[in-house]
Amino acid sequence: MKLSLLFPAIAIAFISCSEKKRGETIVLTGSSTVAPLVADAALRFESAHPGSRVEVQTGGSSRGIADALYGLATFGMISRELKPDEAALTAHPIAVDGVGVIVHRGNAVSNFTRQDLINIYTGKISNWKTMGGKDAPITVANKAEGRATLEVFLEYTGLDSADIVASVVVGENQQAIRTVVANPNAIAYVSIGSAASEAAAGTPVKLANCDGVEPTHENVAAGKFPIMRPLQLVTRGEIPVSAREFLDFLTAPANRDLIEAHLYVPLTK
């Protein structure tokens, strides 16, 4: 009799836990570079796991870090390495990307050295004529504070944010790309994957060489491109079962095509 009474209680508890698991929402916030890839993976994951829900929000890597630290997101999305003062978080690499310099497709300039970029972003070079282009002022687009792409660019150039003389401040990659499309005299730096996807779709932007190295998928994969960074998800503490399932799903060989579709470089063992 005791066992027969206990069984329904166990069954009810099991059903409740199962329903709770199915009802959990996985929330990811942060990097606009990582977000499109994760959003595509989320659609595929939800299709393969009926009842699951994955929400993807942007806001920059700094938001991803903060939300993961304070429990506001299941995963933070970042497009850089973790810093020493972020040791409370665990990083889960998902792909590799490069940061490339973009100009309008009609711009004759197609290569920048590190020193060229330093001179342009500090205002020492302010006209395209100096770079072999037309006689026109350079519109310098810089990334907003809190964006990982800015931090990677500063590390490459050795500059500080205070050194940069910007004409316009942009946030997400798409905003930087739109700025260059709208202004043929603009220069910006964005995710190579994002820019290459736009160029392939016919958007009038082009990725310039950096230090003579082409910003290609192959050069990023080979470690030859000078400005590279990891794309990662970050967590704090124990990962819920549903979140672990999504992370494993995202990094599974079967979903490598999603990473390649965004022109990022999949991880290799």
137-186 pLDDT, tens digit each:
999 999 999 899 999 999 999 999 999 999 999 998 899 999 999 999 99
13-55 pLDDT, tens digit each:
333 344 334 457 999 999 999 999 999 999 999 999 998 999 9
Question: How does residue 65 score in pLDDT terms, banded at 50, 70 and 90?
Answer: very high
Residue 197: CA atoms inside 13 Å, Cβ hemisphere, count? 19
221-266 pLDDT, tens digit each:
999 999 999 999 999 999 999 999 999 999 999 999 999 998 899 9
| Res 269: pLDDT | 54
Q: Which of 90, 137, 144, 140 is nearest to 120 (CA)?
A: 140
| Res 15: pLDDT | 33
Q: Is the pLDDT of residue 219 over 60?
A: yes
| Res 255: pLDDT | 93
Residue 100: CA atoms inside 13 Å, Cβ hemisphere, count? 32
| Res 268: pLDDT | 75
Q: Are 79 and 229 in contact (CB under 8 A)?
A: yes
109 token code pair: 């300039």
| Res 96: pLDDT | 94
C-alpha distances in angstroms, 55 versus 28, 43, 77, 117, 176? Answer: 6, 10, 12, 37, 24
**Cβ neighbourhood burial of 18 (10 Å; 0-12, 13-18, 19+):** exposed
Q: Is the pLDDT of residue 5 over 60?
A: no
Q: Which of 233, 229, 257, 231 is nearest to 246 (CA)?
A: 233
Q: Is the pLDDT of residue 198 over 90?
A: yes
Q: Is the pLDDT of residue 10 over 90?
A: no
Q: Is the pLDDT of residue 210 over 70?
A: yes
Return the residue matching tokens 């990891």: 230
Residue 232: CA atoms inside 13 Å, Cβ hemisphere, count? 21
Amino acid at 98: G
* Range(s) of the chain covered by CATH 3.40.190.10: 2-95+231-266, 98-221
66-111 pLDDT, tens digit each:
999 999 999 999 999 999 999 999 999 999 999 999 999 999 999 9
CATH classification of 98-221, choosing from 3.40.980.20, 3.20.20.150, 3.30.565.10, 3.40.190.10? 3.40.190.10
| Res 263: pLDDT | 86
| Res 267: pLDDT | 87
What is the CATH T-level fold of the domain 2-95+231-266, as seen in this structure? Answer: D-Maltodextrin-Binding Protein; domain 2 (3.40.190)
| Res 16: pLDDT | 37
